[in-house]
Amino acid sequence: MQTVIIVIHLMIVIALVAVVLLQRSEGGALGIGGGGGFLTGRGQANALTRATAILAALFFLTSLTLTIMANVNHAPKSILDGATTTTTPSPAGAPPAPTGNLLNQLQTLEKQKNQQPASPGSQNVPAPAAPTAPAAPRSP
């Protein structure tokens, strides 16, 4: 179905270009065109103007139809759903590696971080004292 609409769209484009090129120039294009001969009457100008409008409307219609058909089967996806990791065997005693999408991995790591007790060396360690200013040198 989409191929048929593309072919119709291309035929409309070719016809639109041809109809626009057949129209009489208004004379402001560097002096080219505007000379009469082919399709110079007022009736032909009205027919070409009407044909241009109809072809332009059909062009927009087929363009919108093709756009809608292209996006009909595409559901919106989250970039977080596509971020999966491969699981590797963890060493004995280590927590299992997180699996799933990126958001689930971050939540799992946050839970593991909150459940682990702090290391014994980091409890109640006083902060280092601020350095004192050096003594002024004595003069002799």
pLDDT digits (tens, 9 = 90+) for 2-19: 899 999 999 999 999 999
What are the angstrom distances between the C-alpha of 45 and each of 16, 34, 126? 15, 13, 93
Domain positions in the chain are: 2-25+41-71
Taking the C-alpha atoms of residue 19 and residue 25, their distance in angstroms, rounded to an integer, is 12
| Long-range contacts from 48-54, C-beta under 8 angstroms, 24+ separation | 48/19, 48/22, 48/23, 49/23, 51/19, 52/16, 52/19, 52/20, 52/23
Q: What is the pLDDT of residue 64?
A: 95
Q: What is the pLDDT of residue 101?
A: 78
Query: What's the pLDDT tens digit per position in 68-126?
Result: 998 887 767 777 766 665 555 556 666 666 566 788 888 888 888 888 766 655 555 56
Does the pTM surpass 0.75? The reply is no
